[in-house]
Amino acid sequence: MNRNLARLAVPVGIVGIVLLLVVPVPAPILDVLIVCNILLALVILLTSMFVKKPLDFSVFPSLLLVATLFRLGLNVASTRLVLGQGYAGQVIDAFGKVTVGGSMIIGAVVFVILVVIQFVVVTKGAERVAEVGARFTLDAMPGKQMAIDADLNAGLITDVVARQRRAEVSAEADFYGAMDGASKFVKGDAIAGIVIIIVNIVGGLGVGMAQRGLSITDALNTYSLLTMGDGLVSQIPALLMAVSTGMIVTRSNAEADLGQAASSQLSQSRTALLIAGIAAVVMALIPGMPPLPFLGVGGALIVASRRIRPAHDGDAAASSAAAATQSAEDPNQRLMEEMRVHPLEILLAPDLVDLVGGSTDDLLARVKSLRQKVAMDLGVVIPPVRTRDSVELPPSTYAIRIAGVEAARGAAPSGKLLALGDFLDALPGVAVVEPVFGLAGKWIPAEMRHSAEMTGATVIDRVSVLVTHLSSIVTSSAARLLSREDVRVLTEGVKAASPAAVDELTPGLLSLAEIHRVLQGLLAEHVPINDLTRIYESLTLRAKASTDPEGLIEAARLALGPALVGRLMDGERLTVITIEPGLEQSLVQDLRPAEGGTQLVMEQSKLDAIMTSLSSAVAAAESAGKSPVLVCAPVLRPAIRKLVPLPPSGVPVLSYAEVTSTTVNIETIGVVRLGTAVPA
């Protein structure tokens, strides 16, 4: 019942505010509503002081809007009573007569002071802090999300904690964005208060003199005092709400509320309190100064400075003990960190550190995007990329390491752009070969971008060159980067979605190590493992007959046949190179089992002739603008795959079973023979 009442409180309150704008309210009811308004503002102010972090009071922006509308509704209701009856209840009458002593001038001065405090000091400051807080919070979101991803990938937090932290980051951004807009309510409320006062005074004079026949003095005294009382009644809760806004937007996350934090931090230095107390005593000795207030306050500060000494010393002792413990552990921690081999690293020469910055071309942001792209393309999350500088590298050089071993090296000179094209001789710069595709290029000055583009060259910035190189290395080394722990996490993900696919496979038929080996074999051939459910189902069927790794990989490939063929199609058709039937039968007879799988054992001259014929067929297809694949018998595919390199220097190898696993238009563009390739 109480929960239902709480749910209806705000909607009913909003409806009541709307009624205040259109329905006359008797003076006694208005008194009750004014008291509720003041106490509501006071409760909100006290709540904002006792919360430990802004998100604990996330409903504040909405409450601020409701309270502002409530206050404006009361202004309309009180204005109707002031102008219509010359009386607006005891609360407004008391504020007009008792609070300001019945003086219109004093009331006006007090009202102006309150408006200045609220509008110029509190509201302006809160608005600026809210705006800056919103901008900084939104700017910091990518970094916070990256930190959460890094902790999750490193195993420091669980999925549940990661989701909770991501929700907190999102809620924090939403809160500060809402506070940036809500602060405008406070500003508008202050302006509305000034306008309403002016309108009430002018309207009161008109009503008193025109309708009631009062003299200008009597009308001014009567309606001005009521107007000042009404203004003070409205401005006091408005000021409390403005202070609450300032409190919320200036609070940082803390372990204690404002009172505890302020008292502990103000009393953390006994020297500061002692000096302040002595200064107060000295000021008491100045001729003309009242000695009692200064001596009383100064003595209290001196006593307080003496009383906090034991606590301060205790904190210092605890800090010393913690520092001693930390210093004792630090050498081992540093040694362990230096010993640890990182799965993936980027080393930068000292003059390339500027690549890691806050611009849109920031290397860290681009690497994060690359990790997401690789995850979508290959179905595996590559480990976090450690980026650091190295004085051992030559200037303008970067190196990519996998498991502590350098896998590639390149250059990215500062202030330069890489131009790729055929007409670069007229451009100044150093001629190079692009590290991924082997294209001829030249590092040109950044100011020559337009000139290079006019020659038809493709211009690439330094970060794109490095990230493209990293992408190539990561894709070709995905099998090495896939760890046993990654396989465990992926398997648990499949189990959550398709329990039967995992329960039947592991640990009954295959161990995690054997599944790891199969997935590495697929990634080694650039086969995505996104569809793990289908892969596990195919492994289950194959493992019941044999757990031979080569057979398991081929079974998984066959299950993924339509996806493999779809990635290799030229438009609407698949361009293939086949092997002459007689030669294919001869190769089947040359197959021999080995520890690493089946291999082709033949004379070197025969192997050279086959590879020459295949190269000719591939060259002919590429000259025709096509991207061919080599198709062979399923039993031959693993052995031929070991002889034929992967693209871009080689050609993909599919089996007949994989090609026929889906309906596709096939165009045979060449046949491999012992002599030269014969066009189809």
Give me the pLDDT at residue 254, please: 52
Domain finish residue from 559, 581, 597: 559
Cα–Cα dist 624/302, whole Å: 93
410 three-state secondary structure: strand
Res. 616: pLDDT tops 50:
yes
* 618 three-state secondary structure: helix
Lowest mean pLDDT among 24-28, 127-131, 329-333, 617-621: 329-333
Closest CA to 638 of 580, 579, 569, 591: 591
Is residue 335 a part of any domain in this protein? no
Predicted confidence at residue 629, as pLDDT, reads 93
> Are residues 509 and 624 both part of a single domain?
no
Pairing label, strands 458-460, 416-420:
antiparallel
Q: What is the DSSP letter of 482?
A: -
Residue 247, judged by CB atoms within 10 A of its CB (0-12, 13-18, 19+), counts as buried
My answer on whether 220 and 82 are in the same domain is yes
Within a domain: 237 = yes
In this structure, is residue 314 part of a structural domain? Answer: no
Q: Give the percent of the chain with pLDDT over 70.
A: 72
The answer to whether the beta carbons of residues 465 and 442 sit under 8 Å apart is no
Give the model's pLDDT for residue 184. 67
> Is the per-residue pLDDT at 18 higher than 90?
no
Which has the higher per-residue pLDDT, 191 or 380?
380
CATH code for position 662: 3.40.50.12790
Where is the domain boundary, 480, 507, 539? 480
Query: Which helix (H) or strand (E) covers residue 466, if one does?
Result: helix 462-476
What was the pLDDT predicted at 400? 93
Q: Is 605 helix (H, G, I), strand (E, B) or coil?
A: helix
Query: Does residue 149 form part of some domain?
Result: no
Cα separation, 80 vs 97, in Å, equals: 20
**Residue 214 vs residue 579, higher pLDDT:** 579
Residue 325 is assigned to a structural domain of this protein: no
What's the mean pLDDT in 243-259?
Answer: 63
Q: What's the pLDDT tens digit per position in 131-143?
A: 666 666 666 666 6
Torsion of CA 257, 259, 262, 268, to 10 degrees: -100
Which parts of 545-611 are beta strand (E)?
573-579, 591-592, 599-600
Check whether residue 427 and residue 552 sit in a common domain.
no
Q: How many domains does the chain have?
A: 5
**Statement to judge: residues 24 and 118 lie in one domain:** yes
- Evaluate if residue 433 carries a pLDDT over 50: yes
Q: What is the pLDDT of residue 519?
A: 93
- Same domain for 412 and 449, yes or no, is yes
For residues 392 and 470, state if they share a domain: yes
Strands 653-655 and 430-433: unpaired
**pLDDT reading at 301 higher than 80:** no
Position 1 confidence tier, pLDDT thresholds 50, 70, 90: very low
Of 226, 256, 286, the position where a domain reaches its end is 256
Residue with tokens 């409806």: 15
Show the tokens assigned to 447.
């100011």
The residue range of the domain holding 658 is 568-680
Instruction: For residues 656 and 637, give the distance between their C-alpha atoms in angstroms, rounded to a whole number.
Output: 9
Is pLDDT above 80 for 388?
A: yes
Q: End-to-end alpha-carbon separation of the chain, Å?
A: 82
328 pLDDT band, cuts 50/70/90, is very low
Q: Give the residue among 234, 197, 232, 251 at the shortest CA–CA distance from 67.
A: 234
Tokens of 537: 């189902």
Q: Are 664 and 569 in contact (CB under 8 A)?
A: yes
CA pair distance 396, 119, nearest whole angstrom: 55
56: CB partners within 8 A, 6+ apart: none
The mean per-residue pLDDT over the stretch 78-105 comes to 67
Residue burial 567-586, b: 16+ Cβ < 10 Å; e: rest: ebebeeebbbbbbbeebbee
- Predicted local confidence at residue 152, as pLDDT: 66
Asked if 218 contacts 18 with a C-beta cutoff of 8 angstroms, the reply is no
Tokens of 430: 């150093």
- 224 and 276: one domain? no
Gap between the Cα atoms of 56 and 673, Å rounded? 75
Q: Report helix, strand or coil for 419.
A: strand
Q: What mean pLDDT is predicted for residues 148-153?
A: 67
Statement to judge: residues 421 and 452 lie in one domain = yes
Cα-trace Rg, the chain? 39
Please give the pLDDT value at position 30.
78
**Most confident range, picked from 275-284, 295-304, 631-640:** 631-640
Q: What is the pLDDT of residue 311?
A: 46
13 and 129 assigned to the same domain: yes
Q: What is the CATH number of the domain that holds 471?
A: 3.40.30.60
Distance CA 402, CA 480 (A): 8
Q: 179 and 81, same structural domain? A: yes
327: pLDDT confidence band, cut at 50, 70 and 90?
very low
Per-residue pLDDT for 396 more than 80? yes
Backbone angles phi, psi at 578, to 5 degrees: -105, 175
- What pLDDT is attached to residue 49? 75
Taking 70 as the threshold, does the pLDDT of residue 325 lie above it?
Answer: no
**What rounded mean pLDDT belongs to the chain?**
78
Looking at 410-419, 421-430, 548-557, which range is the least confident one? Answer: 421-430
- Number of separate helices (H) and strands (E) present in the chain: 26, 14
Give the pLDDT of residue 252: 55
- Domain-located, residue 485: no
- Rounded distance between C-alpha atoms, residue 106 and residue 108, angstroms: 5
Assess whether pLDDT exceeds 80 at residue 577: yes
Give the per-residue pLDDT at 637: 92
Distance in angstroms (rounded) separating the CA atoms of residues 137 and 175: 10
Task: Evaluate if residue 460 carries a pLDDT over 70.
Answer: yes
Q: What is the pLDDT of residues 154-184, one digit of tens each?
A: 566 777 777 787 777 777 777 767 776 666 6
362 class by beta-carbon count within 10 Å (0-12 exposed, 13-18 middle, 19+ buried): middle
Q: Which two tokens stand for residue 33?
A: 């509503």
Q: Residues 417, 532: one domain?
A: no
Could you tell me the pLDDT band of residue 363, with boundaries at 50, 70 and 90? confident
Q: Which of 74-83, 408-417, 430-439, 553-562 has the lowest mean pLDDT?
A: 74-83
Q: In angstroms, rounded to a whole number, what is the distance separating the alpha carbons of residues 244 and 251?
A: 11
Helix/strand/coil for 570: strand
What integer is the mean pLDDT of 417-443? 85
Query: Which residue would you say has higher pLDDT here, 335 or 556?
Result: 556
- 184 and 68 in one domain? yes
Task: Let me know if residue 600 belongs to a domain.
Answer: yes
Model confidence at 455, pLDDT cuts 50, 70, 90, reads confident
Q: Full-prediction pTM beyond 0.85?
A: no
Query: What integer is the mean pLDDT of 10-24?
Result: 73
Question: Under a CB-based contact definition with an 8 Å cutoff, are residues 33 and 74 in contact?
Answer: yes
At residue 591, the pLDDT reads: 92
Report yes or no on 31 lying in a domain. yes
User: E strands within 553-616?
Assistant: 573-579, 591-592, 599-600
What digits encode the pLDDT tens for the residues 274-293?
777 788 788 778 777 777 87
